[in-house]
Amino acid sequence: MAPALTPDQVTTIKATVPVLAQHGETITQKFYADLLSQNPSLKNIFNATHQATGHQAQALAGALYAYAANIDDLGKLSPALELICHKHASLYIRPEHYDTVGTYLLETMKAVLGDAATPAIMNAWGAAYWQLADIMIGKEAGLYKSAGRWTEWKDFRIARKEKEAEEITSFYFTPVEEGLEIPVFKPGQYVSVNVFVDEVECGVWQARQYSLSDAPGRGYLRISVKREPALVVGEPEHMAHQGYISNILHDKKNIGDVVRLSHPFGDFFFDEKDVEKESPVVLISAGVGLTCLMSILNSLTERHTTRPITWIHGAKDSRVRAFKRYTDELVPKNENVHTIYFSSEPKDGEVEGLDYDIKGRIDLDQISGDKLHTGNDTTQYFACGPTRFMLDVEGKLKSKGVPAERVKMELFGTGGVPRV
């Protein structure tokens, strides 16, 4: 356990905030380049796409800046740390990884800052790094403990593969290991899917997080994956493409094939015990963002809850909208469930009121109050989709009097520090 920072060290760290604002990305870009060139085994952990696009370096630079700026009030970082620790747990980050990262990060800071990296500054940042690392190691240890004996990658077989929309396919996984119990995860959480990519160098393992798209307790784990277009699997340069692994799943992984999965993790979820029994739930998604909300919807309806539920989904058109047939069949069986579909560019032949309800992008002003439940001060809102979309939804709900603590958003990406 690292000792607490001294008042002088706290003052020193805060004084480096302008330095990080100016040199943060230079530091993190060099850090990752040196770390991975000298420790190639770590390429099995880090997302190659985020490395190639620079998103990982940008996220780390932002995290370092936020940490330094809030060094005397780390409580402000709690939501961001929770997000990052869940992602780390889903990648099986271990304490020894923090040793390696700390060594290279401090060496890089010293190299980039040159004479400005005085002994006092480097000592302060060494203490600060281990203060943060100890917090995260402790949080992640708790997550591993909650996973029982599932504390490493496990082999799962694809039992079913079903097309849900033109770009979205569901994969149903069952464990290869005899006796491995599928945990009762919290609806809204995700798993990491780990596949071996043999098209680059000598091959590398790559993991991506995918929301679980069905309720817990069903004897399988289901993810529903969007294929990103304009990509040919097998061309190494496409490792930089955001959809590389999703295309491998679509094109190369079939029924009977085995992939590695993490235990379910994630700080975005619906927990019945945290919500009043009759509180309305409003689920708002765009595109493939509906997957984690489908898990929440199914979990609620299979419990035969009487709480009002509104399902709001936006898509370009019916071809790319997943699960509509399923939700259309769900509504007559659950009079408390209401669906509202937006289509931004409905195709010729699509019928308003049948294929979609409202033309255009999601606009909460077009939804009646009895469906949006903004007048009920216990309503819980869950949003998932592109980051800009989620922030717009949050802003619109705020303008209608909904406090931020009743709006939950799924933030994926590189695990940076959102909205500190």
**395 vs 390: CA distance, rounded Å:** 9
CA angle 179, 196, 173 (to 5 degrees): 35
Work out the number of other CB atoms within 10 angstroms of the CB of residue 6: 12
Verify whether residue 92 is a known catalytic residue. Answer: no
Helix 17-38 crosses helix 55-69 at what angle (to 10 degrees)? 140
Query: Cα-atom radius of gyration of the chain, to the nearest Å?
Result: 23
Is the CB of residue 4 less than 8 Å from the CB of residue 112?
no
**347 vs 332: CA distance, rounded Å:** 26
Q: Which of 140, 167, 394, 410 is catalytic?
A: 140
Is the CB of residue 140 less than 8 Å from the CB of residue 132?
no
Describe the chain by its helix, strand, coil percentages, rounded to 5: 45, 20, 35
Structure letter (DSSP) for residue 180:
P
Tell me if residue 335 falls in helix, strand or coil: coil
Verify whether residue 356 is a known catalytic residue. Answer: no
Q: Where on the phi/psi map is residue 173: left (φ > 0), alpha (ψ -120 to 50), or beta?
A: beta
Q: Which of 98, 210, 244, 341 is catalytic?
A: 98
Give catalytic residues, as residue numbers: 98, 140
